[in-house]
Amino acid sequence: MKQIFILILLFVLSCSNANIVTSDQDELQIYAKIIETNISKYFTDNNGNNMLLVRDSTWIEGDEERMLHEINPDCTDINIINNAEALTTNRRLINDFTNTDLINLLVKDYSIRNKNKYHMPDKIPIKNTEIQFISNTELNTIFNHGIIKGWKLFYKKYPNSLGFISFSKVGFNNNKTNAIIYVEFEFGSKAATYDYYFLSKKNNKWDIVKEFNIGVA
């Protein structure tokens, strides 16, 4: 009986759309830092709302290669370079980061880590904010009714929510003192931001060095 249960469990896990992987403390600290930064940036007065939904699997919207080109200063793809937004992003990176080797290293690790989707950790160490997780299936069901109606349904079900946030896997340099992550924070039909964050670790604490916005709603 025990063997049958184990076989069933393995089958269910193998059918999951997201792979199971353990997030280390660095990744958990980065998730927490991003959440704290976004809440303080967009919600100066929470009106008593202190709950944030987190997508339960890692996420990259749209074409991954294009996104990687947008943050890669060595981009030479003519289709990408001709895109004004991507070109502007590249120039900003070149101006702000003189160490292109570091950027390329982060992008390479980021690309490898995000080839697949992974389950988010069960807990994110953050104070004063309740974290709940929401699945892609539930989000698709809610917003299948359209953006405007979808948000009405969303806040009807989660009236105390500040919206929902989606994370990519974190890309690191070799000694994990620098990192890059892609984040989507959505809290209304015309309230969303899509950003890359570059972070640096000093004295065992992660801080945001630069934030690059690639889209808003």
Confidence (pTM): 0.77
| Whether the Cβ atoms of residue 201 and residue 179 lie closer than 8 Å to each other | yes
| Whether the Cβ atoms of residue 101 and residue 8 lie closer than 8 Å to each other | no
Distance separating alpha carbons of residues 39 and 46, to the nearest angstrom: 9
Nearest to 195 by CA among 204, 187, 185: 185
Q: What is the mean pLDDT of residues 32-47?
A: 80
Distance separating alpha carbons of residues 209 and 204, to the nearest angstrom: 15
Q: What is the SS3 assignment for 137?
A: helix
| Whether the Cβ atoms of residue 189 and residue 210 lie closer than 8 Å to each other | no
Per-residue pLDDT reduced to its tens digit, 129-184 = 889 999 999 999 999 989 999 999 999 999 989 999 999 999 999 999 999 999 99
Per-residue pLDDT reduced to its tens digit, 109-129 = 888 888 888 999 988 988 888
- Whether residue 202 is predicted with pLDDT greater than 70 in this model: the reply is yes
| Whether the Cβ atoms of residue 212 and residue 85 lie closer than 8 Å to each other | no
Question: 15 or 39: whose pLDDT is higher?
Answer: 39
